[in-house]
Structure 1
Amino acid sequence: MKKTSTEVKLFQYAMKFKRTIILGLVCLVVAVSLELAGPFIAKRVIDDHITGIETTWHQVDDRNDKYTVSFGGDYYKREDRMKQGEASLGTVSLMQVGRSYYLTDKEVSQTGTRSVKDGVVTVVSPQGTEKAEVQKLSVTDLYSFFKPEQSPIVWLLSLYVLLLLIAAIFQFGKTYLLQKASNRVVEKMRNDIFKHTQEVPIQYYVNQPAGKIVARVTNDTEAIRDLYERVLSVFVTSIIYMAGIYIALFLLDLRLAALCLILLPIIYLWMKVYKHFGTKYNKVVRSTVSDINGNINESIHGMPIIQAFQREEQVSNEFEQMNERHFVYQRKLVKLSALTSHNLVNVLRNLAFVAFIWYFGSSSIGPESIITAGVLYAFVDYLTRLFNPVNDIVNQLPLLEQARVAASRVFELMDQQGEKVETASIGKYKGHVQFQSVWFAYDEKEYVLKNIDLDIRPGETAAFVGHTGSGKSSIMNLLFRFYDPQEGNILIDGKEIVGLSRQQVRSHMGIVLQDPFLFTGTILSNVTMNDPTISREMAIDALKAVGADRFIERLPGKYEEPVKEGGSTFSMGERQLISFARALAFDPSILILDEATANIDTETENVIQEALNVLKQGRTTLIIAHRLSTIQQADNIFVLEHGTIKEQGNHQSLLEQAGLYYQMYQMQQGRLKEQVV
């Protein structure tokens, strides 16, 4: 199956909010269109109403409309404003030479080079040389010819201001809608990746440091947020601006607009070059950030050990090496951007203006010029505007590559094979647990469980003992469906658990770990786990049932006492009692105790044992134990060695066999006697 590219996946996420994005793009197109209308309006003001008076004027018999001007007792109207069939009593030409305006009663060419000497104007044009007597106009006289243009100029400028105000409204709409869509995209992506972290197999977390996973959920998605909120918004805006500007340039002059198209392949080529080096550097940077997060997370959790064994300098050196690698590749990225981004745009801008000056200077400005001042102004304006989006695009390339690499890391996690969380309720277990010829290996090379057969009846207490690595915890991992066996079947109440979702299998199971984990919150929230089906009264009753009220009642906040991260303010025994109450409150049919008393002192063990007796009532209980004294009342004890069941029976029968269990028991009893002595 063909792998979907990172860009396609990012696009697919954006399309989940396409309505908002499309509305934002519509606002953008409208805003760009309105803003780009400015140079055309300026062109019309210059060509039609400022330099437009330099033309042939016809004398008319009276002031018949607003375009008729009065000069020297006669009435005149511009040639381009003469109505069809309107009589002309004579013609005059108005022209500018230098900074002065002149009037001549002879019709002369309006193009070419002009000069005035001794009241005679000389016009050199492709048609030849023309001379005519001229009259210099005073400011008052000139105002008469400009007067009809005042109203159109004011109207056009007012229209331009109005268009800018409307464009500002649409620009706000564009910014709001696109950023809203950006934040929604990243919100959904973060929700999806966090949800996916709960669906991927436990094995993934065994192989990945927690800090690296946290970096992908936080740092990498933050970089993606920049992509949607800033980079893509700038790219889309710039592309639409450039498209609008190119359309305007082609409307003004085909040849020069075509020359400006050379800019596009240059930008594309540069983006490909930047992508090649930027991706390579960013991969190292993002990976190093993850390593740094993982190192910090590990150092904080292991600080007591680091300080106890005086490893501060070694840990600092390891961190410094990662930090130095991050600095080196960040510097390479800075060099890459500094050498090209601003410099590239400046070079392109200067080359474009050289081409512009060459084009107009060599072929347009001169005796044969047919380019108006308005077109010249509009072209300069558009050419200047063209490089603003180019500059924006080039300056966003570092963020674009950073976001692409971050996205590839996020999608790498999301591409991990997972299983959908299925929480549909199932009937409560009776508690009959069976393992039938189960074989299991973590790495599919070395089996840690070999041909395991178990049959634990409802309500029984079964204990698993054995040396480290014998396979005790692996049995619990399989029963909880953290892993599935390579061979054999596991049944609960006669039904194979692989036919249920992992969440359904665990829905009527409870577990108490050797090192109980408490979440930040309160004692009550750690018992209820914020499950609405477990009331405050039920949680308190569970705490009292296991004897946790003995220490809770002495606390300032009692049952609402705050719990810090990991429950560090409570002793091991107190944390264990709270975890017992948690299991009791959820009333599981099958209870798993994973070496729950291994780290408890002898004095606290009596309290824990009382709690365990309460906890085990009416449910199937599976105990992983190191202390054989805690499982003497078990209905069935399984002795494991190297992944196989060596012995099976109750405490007394196993002692009578004088086998492996007997040896373990004698060793522990010997240690106890030594401790007493």
Structure 2
Amino acid sequence: MKKYFYETKFFIFMRILFDGLMALTAAAIPALQKKLFDLFTGNVTETHSFLTVIIIYVTCLLGSVLFSYLSMIFTWKTSLNFEQSLKGDFFKSIFNYSYEDFSAKDVGEYISIQGNDITALEQDYLTPLIDIVQVANRIIIYGVFLFLNVDFRISTAILLGSILTIIIPKLTSKQLATKQNAYLNQMGVYVSKIKDFLEGFKVIQSRTRKSINREHEEVLANTKNMRFNYGKYKSLAMSLEYLSLNFVSAIAFIIAAFLLFKHEITVGTCVATFGYINSFIGPIDSIMYDLNSVSSMKQTKEKVLSYLKKIPDDKLIVTKKFNTDIVFDNVTYDYANFSLKGVSCKFEKGKKYALIGHSGSGKSTMINMLMSYMTPASGNIKIDGENINSLDTANIMYCVNQNEHIFCNDFMNNVTVFSSYSESNVHKVTDNLKMKIVDVIKSNSNSQQLSGGEKQVIGIIRMLTANTEICLMDEPFAAIDAKTTEILENTLLNMKEKTIIMVTHKLSDDLNKFDEVLLMDNGKIVQRGKFEDIFDTDEFKKMKFV
């Protein structure tokens, strides 16, 4: 967290400086009130002194307003820069996760941390911490004015009573932190549910709407109850603090009244006492609230920082060229109810491969392991003799999935991934394809509104724009019409420089276009070779007619 304080240090300094100047001008006001009352209750009214007091009083009032405004401006600057920096680093960190690490948590939890936890850190951790410094300055300033303008017995009583009240937050902070963390975790659950419901909007209709509303109401009620439990305990903690502060005010009031009755202090001193009680108690109240807030955010701070600890693995070798082959050497991967069992095979540079088999036979698992979305339980996957776990393959390998993600943006930003890939490559690809569907896709400013087939076309153009030597495809034409599929498939399979590994459910003669077909069943490669060689095998016939 030190990094984010350091990045906003200028704004923090200016905020504290102007707050201190505001406190200085505000602290002078009760002293001027004391001077004014003492002038009018004395035997002689000094006109010159009266005018001087009025001028200084007005100056202090205007000064406190100006310095308060400037302090608030830098408060906004501090908060917004802190939040921007933390949210930026949070996303950078998440984007450096491996797919397995990323998938271990629901997307809704990441959204909740970004939208709730980090904002809570700014509001209930950063701001209170800076407030504590500001309040400490105010206490020192008000304390000096208090002892200079108020009887030392009253000043001592206010000071000692105020110090004792600071103990109260320590008594409630741990339980408050627990309840706040429970609420924020429940918010993560709620956001995940909302995301799930909205993404499943097509399922919501007259028969399902009531049940889905009931599910939503249930999680919403749980979230409300968690927040109420947190709010209820926070209200109790704040009430205890308020009680202790009122007790200090009462003690100071009684002592001032007694000393005034005994004629040991002037009316002006009494007026100043009441002014400083409010001025002094206010910062004490703030520091108690801030201490509670900072303590309550401890678990949230540790949670957010745990996400920021992920950094890129700089030890990965960045591969620029694919030279010879991809080798699976006795590779195994275990699911709960399925295993990829000792797979060994080779994919040679420039050749085109089709992976076929029943759903759940292991085809997509092989693609996912090549993309490092999954890590083999045993065995090795090597590219040009190097273990894939030691390589950054982004420059030589790209995968397009059946449900390729399409951003809520225009065609160009989607296929270049916001200018990650060259626009000139886009023009080369689209000119080569010469399909009317591309013009239709380009005309839509929000590519998420396109049909499933049109989205798959974008995914394929994106892959070709990335211009990698190895192209992995998992059912890339499932939603595309036959004519467009033929154009795209022929274009891809005729690219001699590309090594293509494609998962497909097609069992037609089109498989003859591939150099080799691998037939998978129950986590094993049971046949491989030219399509004409495996067409008459028992394994192929069994798959075709089941």
Normalization by structure 2: what TM-score? 0.87
Structure 2, unmatched stretches of 5+, are none
Preserved CA contact (<8 Å) 1:510 1:583 = yes
Preserved CA contact (<8 Å) 2:315 2:390 = no
Preserved CA contact (<8 Å) 1:211 1:291 = yes
Residue 513 of structure 1 pairs with residue 370 of structure 2: no
Q: Residue 252 of structure 2 corresponds to which residue in structure 1?
A: 356
The alignment partner of 1:520 has SS state of: coil
Preserved CA contact (<8 Å) 1:595 1:624 = yes
Q: Residue 173 of structure 1 corresponds to which residue in structure 2?
A: 70
Alignment of 1:403-552 (within 5 A): 406-415=300-309, 417-420=310-313, 426-430=319-323, 432-441=325-334, 448-500=339-391, 504-531=392-419, 534-535=422-423, 538-547=425-434, 549-552=435-438
Aligned residues: 544
What is the Cα deviation at residue 482 of structure 1? 2.3
Alignment of 1:259-338 (within 5 A): 259-264=157-162, 266-307=164-205, 310-338=207-235
CA change 1:429–1:449 in 2 (3 A) is same
What is the Cα deviation at residue 512 of structure 1? 2.1
Superimposed CA distance per residue, residues 140-187 of structure 1 (whole angstroms, 9 cap, x where no aligned partner): xxxxx43xx221332243233334434443333322223212211110
Partner AA of 1:619 in structure 2? K
What is the Cα deviation at residue 662 of structure 1? 4.2
Partner AA of 2:404 in structure 1? P
What is the Cα deviation at residue 589 of structure 1? 0.3
CA change 1:344–1:531 in 2 (3 A) is closer
Q: Residue 23 of structure 2 corresponds to which residue in structure 1?
A: 32
What is the Cα deviation at residue 419 of structure 1? 3.1
What is the Cα deviation at residue 620 of structure 1? 0.7
Preserved CA contact (<8 Å) 2:23 2:138 = yes
Partner AA of 2:49 in structure 1? P
Alignment of 1:658-677 (within 5 A): 658-665=537-544, 667=545
The alignment partner of 2:512 has SS state of: coil
Question: Greater CA deviation, 583-592 or 221-230?
Answer: 221-230
Q: Residue 639 of structure 1 corresponds to which residue in structure 2?
A: 519
What is the Cα deviation at residue 357 of structure 1? 4.3
Preserved CA contact (<8 Å) 2:27 2:279 = no
CA change 1:156–1:433 in 2 (3 A) is same
Superimposed CA distance per residue, residues 504-537 of structure 1 (whole angstroms, 9 cap, x where no aligned partner): 312222222122332222233322223265225x
What is the Cα deviation at residue 326 of structure 1? 2.0
Partner of residue 529 from structure 2, selected from 630, 646, 649: 649
Question: Greater CA deviation, 30-39 or 274-283?
Answer: 274-283
Alignment of 1:109-120 (within 5 A): none
Q: Residue 88 of structure 1 corresponds to which residue in structure 2?
A: none
Preserved CA contact (<8 Å) 1:546 1:580 = no
CA change 1:14–1:222 in 2 (3 A) is same
Preserved CA contact (<8 Å) 1:430 1:493 = yes
CA change 1:586–1:328 in 2 (3 A) is closer
Preserved CA contact (<8 Å) 2:166 2:288 = no
What is the Cα deviation at residue 602 of structure 1? 4.9
What is the Cα deviation at residue 311 of structure 1? 2.6
Partner AA of 2:433 in structure 1? V
Quote the RMSD (CA, aligned, Å).
3.3
Q: Percent identity?
A: 20
In 2, Cα distance between equivalents of 1:421 and 1:523: 32
Q: Residue 569 of structure 1 corresponds to which residue in structure 2?
A: 450
Preserved CA contact (<8 Å) 1:463 1:636 = yes
The alignment partner of 2:205 has SS state of: helix
Whose Rg is larger?
Answer: 1
Partner AA of 1:224 in structure 2? L
Residue 255 of structure 1 pairs with residue 153 of structure 2: yes
CA change 1:351–1:609 in 2 (3 A) is closer
In 2, Cα distance between equivalents of 1:378 and 1:526: 67
Preserved CA contact (<8 Å) 2:168 2:241 = no
Structure 1, unmatched stretches of 5+, are 1-8, 54-144, 669-677
The alignment partner of 2:355 has SS state of: strand
In 1, Cα distance between equivalents of 2:154 and 2:274: 11
In 1, Cα distance between equivalents of 2:269 and 2:314: 65
Partner of residue 388 from structure 1, selected from 263, 270, 282: 282
Preserved CA contact (<8 Å) 1:463 1:638 = yes
In 1, Cα distance between equivalents of 2:60 and 2:474: 73
CA change 1:361–1:591 in 2 (3 A) is closer
What is the Cα deviation at residue 492 of structure 1? 1.9
In 1, Cα distance between equivalents of 2:257 and 2:418: 78
Residue 372 of structure 1 pairs with residue 266 of structure 2: yes
Alignment of 1:148-159 (within 5 A): 149-159=46-56
Preserved CA contact (<8 Å) 1:546 1:581 = no
The alignment partner of 1:212 has SS state of: helix
More helix by share: 2
Normalization by structure 1: what TM-score? 0.72
Preserved CA contact (<8 Å) 1:342 1:391 = no
Partner AA of 1:437 in structure 2? N
What is the Cα deviation at residue 601 of structure 1? 5.5
Preserved CA contact (<8 Å) 1:430 1:589 = no
Preserved CA contact (<8 Å) 1:543 1:578 = no
What is the Cα deviation at residue 455 of structure 1? 1.9
In 1, Cα distance between equivalents of 2:366 and 2:192: 30
In 1, Cα distance between equivalents of 2:113 and 2:454: 35
Partner AA of 1:257 in structure 2? S
In 1, Cα distance between equivalents of 2:244 and 2:199: 54
In 1, Cα distance between equivalents of 2:457 and 2:324: 24
Residue 625 of structure 1 pairs with residue 504 of structure 2: yes
Partner AA of 2:496 in structure 1? Q
CA change 1:311–1:156 in 2 (3 A) is same
Partner AA of 1:519 in structure 2? F
Partner of residue 21 from structure 1, selected from 2, 12, 26: 12
